[in-house]
Amino acid sequence: MKFNFFRNPLVRFLVLFIILYTSWYVLYEWVLNPDGKLERLVINSLVYSSEHLLKLLGFNTFTTHSETIRTVGIDGTHGLWIGDPCDGITLFALSASFILSFPGPAKHKAWFIPASIVGIFLTNIFRITALCIIVLKKPQWLGINHDYIFKILVYGFIFWTWMIWVNRFSGISSLFNKEK
């Protein structure tokens, strides 16, 4: 019996995922990132949205916008600087690459990928808002929350969306439940 390497669904998924994510990475590093427009757009949206959520929660806020300084904060604090690695763009690509690589109907991928990107963006707004409140209330907790707690929460959210895709929309469960 001959084994066809690419007929294995796991191998096919991994190869496609690596190709898609690598393609994104090359496009990002060589075209989008040097220009900086995408980062500025996403970071400015995060700053604006986080500022409005903080105001909705009753805080007096401030923002600083320039090419290199994008800060949002609560009056009386130094605020929170939003760097390029914190914009979530890489996470958008990671999530989209997973969904595109994993089996499932294109009609569901067409809405699930944008929905997951919006979910990641909203999660990032809540993360930034919470970090601004931490800077005000317990600034000594900023490091552990930024470096560990919120990364676990954001990646946990992404993993949760992937599990929703796998269990509800991919149709892969039918592969395991076929009668022999």
User: What confidence score (pLDDT) does residue 4 get?
Assistant: 66
What is residue 4's DSSP assignment?
A: -
Chain position carrying tokens 């808002």: 129
Q: pLDDT of 44-66, one tens digit each? A: 999 999 999 999 999 999 998 77
**Residue 163, token pair as written in the block:** 């599990």
3-class secondary structure, 86: helix
3-class secondary structure, 61: strand
pLDDT < 70 regions, the chain: 1-6, 173-180
pTM here is 0.87
- Each domain of the chain, given as residue ranges in start order, spans 5-172
User: What does pLDDT average to over the chain?
Assistant: 90
